C-alpha cells in the first residue's frame, strides 16, 4: 500500500491482514504450547516466548490501525514483532546444541571436528544473540522516545535517526551470528558421517531435526537481511521497505510463520530423547556416550569378564558392536 503521513506505520496498514496475522499466530501458538507440554520439551521455551511476542504484536497492530493517535499499541506492535526472532534464534541454538550432545562421540566433540567445541556452541551463540537483542532493544527505546510529543521536531528526528542506526547495528550482529551458525550447522550434518557407525539407532531421524534447524536459521537470516535493508533510509525519508506494507508480510510475517510451522512439523520433542529435552542438560547426560555407543569403562569391563561369559550388552547386535569396538 502507498505511504500515509497520518499512520505511525508509515503506510496505510491493512486491517484485514492484521486480523489474519493475529489469528494465524494465535493458532500456531496454541499448537506449540500443546506440543511443549505434551513432549515436555522444556529446552524449547524461547520459541514460546517468541510466539507470545508475535501474538502480542499482531493483536496490538489490529488495535493500532484504527487508533492511530494512540501510540502505545503501535509501539508494542513495533517492538515485539522486531524482537521476537531473537528468541527463535535462541531456541535454534539450544536445540542444535542438544543434537550435537546426542549424536557426537566424545572423541569428536572438539574444536578440530566441530570448529566450535560441543560445550561452547550453545553458550557462544546464545550470548551473541543476547548481545544482538540488547542492542536492538536500546535502538527501539530511542525510536520510542522519538514519539514523545513534548520534544521538538529536531530532537525527535535526532532520536529517531540514532535509534534506527543502533537497531541496524543489532540486526547486523544477529545476521553475523546466524551466518556463522548456519555454516557450522550445515557442516556438522556432513561431518557427522565420519562417525556414522556410532549414530543413535533411530535410523538417522535426528537428521530431520538438524536440517529443520538449519533451514529455519537460513530463513530467519533472510528476514534479518530484509530488516537491515529496511532501516537504510536517508534522514527524514524512509526506505522503500518502510513506505510500503507488502515487504513486511512477505519478508517478515511469512518467513516467521514458516519457521514456526517447520518447528511444529519437526518438533524437537519427537526427535530428542527425554534426558535431552529438559530445561537444563545434566552433567551426566553431557558425559554420556550417544545411545548405542558404549563407554570406555564398559569396554574394559567386557575385556576383563569375557572369560566368565558376563553379559553387559543389552542385545545381540549391541554385543557384536561392543566386541568390534573392543578389538579396535
Q: Is the pTM of this model over 0.85?
A: no
The alpha-helical segments, DSSP class H, found in the chain are: 15-38, 45-65, 71-103, 111-114, 118-145, 153-191, 206-230, 240-243, 246-248, 254-265, 268-271, 283-287, 296-305, 316-327
Higher pLDDT, 113 or 207: 207
* Position 283 pLDDT exceeds 90: no
CA-to-CA dists, residue 32 to 42, 85, 99, 232, 257, angstroms: 12, 16, 20, 35, 12
Which of 1-5, 106-110, 121-125 is predicted most confidently? Answer: 121-125
What are 91's three cell numbers? 531456541
Asked whether 178 and 89 are in contact (CB, 8 A), the reply is yes
> What pLDDT, on the 0 to 100 scale, is given for residue 281?
82
Q: Which range, 2-16, 43-57, 132-146, has the best average confidence (pLDDT)?
A: 43-57
Cα dihedral 298→304→309→310 (10° resolution): -40
Q: Is 139 exposed, middle or buried (0-12, 13-18, 19+ CB in 10 A)?
A: buried
Amino acid 108: pLDDT: 72
Instruction: State the pLDDT at residue 152.
Output: 85
Total length of the chain = 328
* Angle of CA points 254, 258, 263, to nearest 5°: 155
User: What average pLDDT does the segment 87-106 reach?
Assistant: 89
Percent of the chain with pLDDT over 70: 81
In this prediction, residue 304 carries a pLDDT of 44
For the chain, the average pLDDT equals 82
270, pLDDT greater than 80: yes
Do the Cβ atoms of 178 and 221 come closer than 8 Å? Answer: yes
Query: Do 199 and 290 touch, CB atoms closer than 8 A?
Result: yes
At residue 245 the predicted structure's pLDDT band, cuts being 50, 70 and 90, is: very high
Comparing 324 with 267, the larger pLDDT belongs to 267
Q: How large a percentage of the chain has pLDDT more than 90?
A: 48
Q: What are phi and psi of 7, to 5 degrees?
A: -105, 135
pLDDT at position 198 = 67
Amino acid at each position: 500500500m502507498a505511504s500515509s503521513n497520518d499512520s505511525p506505520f508509515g503506510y496505510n496498514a491493512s486491517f484485514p491482514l492484521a486480523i489474519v496475522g493475529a489469528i494465524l499466530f494465535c493458532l500456531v501458538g496454541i499448537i506449540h504450547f500443546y506440543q511443549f507440554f505434551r513432549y515436555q520439551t522444556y529446552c524449547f521455551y524461547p520459541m514460546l516466548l517468541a510466539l507470545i511476542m508475535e501474538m502480542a504484536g499482531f493483536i496490538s497492530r489490529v488495535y493500532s490501525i484504527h487508533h492511530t493517535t494512540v501510540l502505545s499499541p503501535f509501539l508494542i506492535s513495533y517492538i515485539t514483532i522486531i524482537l521476537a526472532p531473537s528468541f527463535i534464534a535462541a531456541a535454534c541454538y539450544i536445540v542444535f546444541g542438544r543434537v550435537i550432545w546426542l549424536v557426537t562421540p566424545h572423541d569428536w566433540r572438539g574444536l578440530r571436528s566441530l570448529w566450535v567445541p560441543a560445550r561452547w556452541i550453545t553458550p557462544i551463540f546464545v550470548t551473541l544473540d543476547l548481545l544482538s537483542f540488547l542492542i536492538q532493544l536500546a535502538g527501539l527505546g530511542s525510536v520510542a522516545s522519538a514519539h514523545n510529543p513534548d520534544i521538538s521536531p529536531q530532537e525527535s528526528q535526532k532520536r529517531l535517526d540514532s535509534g534506527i542506526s543502533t537497531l541496524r547495528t543489532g540486526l547486523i550482529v544477529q545476521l553475523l551470528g546466524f551466518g556463522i551458525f548456519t555454516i557450522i550447522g550445515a557442516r556438522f550434518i556432513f561431518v557427522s558421517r565420519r562417525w556414522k557407525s556410532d549414530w543413535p539407532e533411530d535410523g538417522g531421524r535426528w537428521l530431520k531435526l538438524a536440517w529443520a534447524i538449519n533451514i529455519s536459521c537460513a530463513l530467519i537470516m533472510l528476514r534479518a537481511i530484509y530488516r537491515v535493508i529496511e532501516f537504510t533510509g536517508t534522514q527524514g525519508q524512509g526506505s522503500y521497505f518502510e513506505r510500503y506494507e507488502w515487504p513486511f508480510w512477505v519478508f517478515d510475517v511469512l518467513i516467521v510463520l514458516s519457521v514456526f510451522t517447520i518447528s511444529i512439523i519437526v518438533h524437537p520433542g519427537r526427535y530428542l530423547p527425554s534426558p535431552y529435552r529438559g530445561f537444563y542438560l545434566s552433567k551426566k547426560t553431557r558425559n554420556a556416550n550417544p545411545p548405542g555407543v558404549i563407554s570406555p569403562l564398559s569396554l574394559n569391563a567386557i575385556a576383563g569378564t569375557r572369560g566368565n561369559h558376563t553379559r553387559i550388552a543389552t542385545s545381540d547386535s549391541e554385543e557384536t558392536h561392543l566386541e568390534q569396538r573392543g578389538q579396535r
